Structure 1
Amino acid sequence: MQVSVTEAKGQLTELVRRAEAGEEIILTRHGHAAVRLEPIRTVPDRRTRRAVLDAVRQSAAAKPSVGPEAARSQDFLYGEDGLPT
């Protein structure tokens, strides 16, 4: 959505709400794009980042589970005659 700076003055609160909701808001000056309104991406705090890193480390240290053999993983795509089903 493009809005002139003059028009935006009267509806700034609504434009900010729309930008926070994900809509692209471009403010124009003399018919040319001048500014884009977009929400600030919040950075997680130190404790949250630490918790995520600890969870990733635990997951990486865990012994992997045994799954199907890679050589036979696509067998369900083919019938007894060897043709695709």
Structure 2
Amino acid sequence: MRISVSEAKGQLTELVRRAEAGDEVILTRHGHAAVRLVPVHAAADAKTRKAVIEAVRAAAAAKATAGPDAARSQDVLYGEDGLPG
């Protein structure tokens, strides 16, 4: 459901009930989405997901090892004289 901020002022209690029930409630300003009402438990789930994603990224970064220098990666194709080998 999309509703302007000015219209939402008189319907806040009902909008909160709808958001708690799982309805998507988006408040708009000048026709553009400004905010979304979500239940607190849904926000907590988003924070938990974000924490898990960041933990996985940190673990992956810790396991990453440096590879060969890209500037020297073609050296195996050439001999000591600089000619293709």
TM score, norm. by length of structure 1: 0.48
Output the TM-score relative to the length of structure 2: 0.48
